[in-house]
Amino acid sequence: MSPVTRCAVRPGTYHDSVVLMRLQAALAALPGILDAGVVMATPANLALLTASGLLVEDSLSTVADDLLIAVKADSEPAAAEALSRVDALLQVRRQEVSEEHRPRSLETALRSLPQARWVLVSVPGRFAASVAHDALSLGLNVFLYSDNVSLADEVALKRRAHEKGLLVLGPDCGTAIVGGTGLGFANRTKPGRIGVIAASGTGLQAAVSFLHLRGFGVSQAIGIGGRDLAAEVGGITAAQALDLLRRDPETEVILFLSKPPAPEVARRLIALAHATDKPVVMSLLGTSPPLLHAWNVHFSIGVEAAIEEAILCLDGKDSGAVERACSFAAGQRWVRGLFSGGTLALELVARLSAVIEPVYSNVVTGAAQPIPDALHSQGHTILDLGADEFTVGRLHPMIDFDLRLRRLRQEAADPEVALILLDVVLGDGAHADPAGELAPVIQRLRDVAHGAGRDLDVAVVVIGTDLDPQDRKRQVEDLERAGARVCRSLIDMVDYTLHRLEEIAGGPSLFADPPVPLEAVRGPVTAINVGLELFHDSLAAQGAQTVQVDWKPPAGGNEKLAGILSRMKKR
């Protein structure tokens, strides 16, 4: 006898996907049933049922909000018996919570749990944004597990949350740990001093699990959703999370993991990381780190390497703050680099342009911009003075300092310039006494700037050894007496530059206002769950106060009618 396939449709009937999964398993276990499928009748689900041989009725009429039950049986009576038991199977309820006592709206749920700070949303994506907006209207933070939320809705939700000092984690946010309680698919871990931010759900779970296995716990683990670092969203939640963790007294080290970010978003987040007073370890997957370590920010490739770096920072091996040489006046904001070495200029441009923009140069790489007129700087400018356009008819700037001294005076006269970067290259054939020419000019230019009510900072990297004829030690001493900051290496110069830029930008004022209150991530967690009941069960099992909303699609799933009702509610 050939298998029999039969279907049943329940128009406008909604159950969460866990209930549907359990119903499907119960039907498949009935006598004579070979296979079963229980889905909402979306086009994608219909295609899957067809591919599985469970949907063979061409005349079947459904819409996306209908419940579709399909069974494949070894006989017609077995198929009929299975479909007749659907209602009875759907009536099986959790014994510990009575259906009658569940609120049917967020407003009612909040009246029964007025101390709630979070709403977990896991309803179908086309309804999720509306539920999340309702939560924000009630002053609640949102853990938005739902996927298939439009990018426009995500941007609108996050901008609105930012304006209200609230968080929207997600959409498509699978996991978080706040106040010691896991939201969504969270791992149970010991409390600790490392705060984790991740745009990857499995990456966040891997991080907290590895830390736990290494004997380290987490203070908070904030999932931000996979699209938060896209250019359109702009890292809104990531920036809020950085601000939260820099203020969180339980967090000593911040670990930031992400999928490939938009370059402009990466630059902003690195600047924010520099503006914290805690070590920040960043693994921006899919990008090359601009450097290994810059002041309080460490860069790693991969989750495990980032975890090891975070543990080292926790053990007090961070390099600490950079000593400030001066304080800049209002309006001073640009960095100008005048290099005799093309390779040094190229590396500096590559590293800085990964963090700040725009960087103009006559050696262009990565995100750097070609300078329209190499004789006149604009914005942040890094120049190779040994390039062809500067050396026609004159000696290389490692030998002849005339061009560099002229350009140094030109840059110092610009009232918007804050920091000038130079290299000094020693060795046979190079200038016999570079500091002898540079130091007096640096001192004079700094004095002139001070007299005009501003400070001029100069940083120099000295390339050479103690065996070179110029006497490296004396060169360094002469430059430092003139007030220059002598950097140990180019990385040290990048480190110093980024730190000074953070000061120019105003430090913590870079962060969004109003801030998200720390109470959002402090225990005990109180939350309202809208959608998957397993999240409600998980919260309750962890000792959190929680209420499950008996949510149904508005207007029975009729989106046109739901839109009309929504507009009427706003009047």
Q: Considering its fold, how many domains does the chain have in total? A: 3
**CA–CA separation, 121 and 387 (whole Å):** 58
| 169: helix, strand or coil | strand
> How much is the average pLDDT of 490-507?
76
Query: In this predicted model, which residue has the larger pLDDT, 540 or 566?
Result: 540
pLDDT-derived band of residue 379, with 50, 70 and 90 as boundaries? very high
Residue 549 forms beta bridges with which residues?
Answer: 530
Which residues span the domain enclosing 49? 4-90
* Residue 223 · residue 173 · CB < 8 Å: yes
Amino acid, res. 230: A
Domain boundary among 59, 90, 121: 90
Query: In this predicted model, which residue has the larger pLDDT, 28 or 341?
Result: 28
Question: In the prediction, which pLDDT does 321 show?
Answer: 45
Domain boundary among 482, 499, 516: 499
Same domain (yes/no): 207, 308: yes
Instruction: Give domain status of residue 567, yes or no.
Output: no
* Residue 197 · residue 219 · CB < 8 Å: no
* Residue 293 · residue 262 · CB < 8 Å: no
Same domain (yes/no): 354, 404: yes
Distance from the Cα of residue 380 to its chain's centroid:
26
Kindly state the percentage of the chain with pLDDT values over 70: 89
> How much is the average pLDDT of 371-379?
93
pLDDT-derived band of residue 97, with 50, 70 and 90 as boundaries? very low
Question: In the prediction, which pLDDT does 568 show?
Answer: 47
**CA–CA separation, 97 and 113 (whole Å):** 15
Question: In the prediction, which pLDDT does 322 show?
Answer: 47
Amino acid, res. 395: L
Instruction: Give domain status of residue 505, yes or no.
Output: no
Closest C-alpha among 356, 378, 380, 175 to residue 268: 356
For the chain, the average pLDDT equals: 86
Question: In the prediction, which pLDDT does 539 show?
Answer: 94
pLDDT-derived band of residue 511, with 50, 70 and 90 as boundaries? confident
Question: In the prediction, which pLDDT does 96 show?
Answer: 41
Same domain (yes/no): 390, 449: yes
Which stretch, 93-97, 195-199, 263-267, has highest mean pLDDT?
195-199
Instruction: Give domain status of residue 528, yes or no.
Output: no
Question: In the prediction, which pLDDT does 320 show?
Answer: 45
> How much is the average pLDDT of 336-362?
86
Domain boundary among 499, 523, 557: 499
CATH number for 492: 3.40.50.261
In tens, the pLDDT along 188-228 reads 888 999 999 999 788 889 899 889 888 999 999 999 998 99
Same domain (yes/no): 355, 246: no
In tens, the pLDDT along 318-331 reads 444 445 455 788 88
Same domain (yes/no): 72, 127: no
Instruction: Give domain status of residue 369, yes or no.
Output: yes
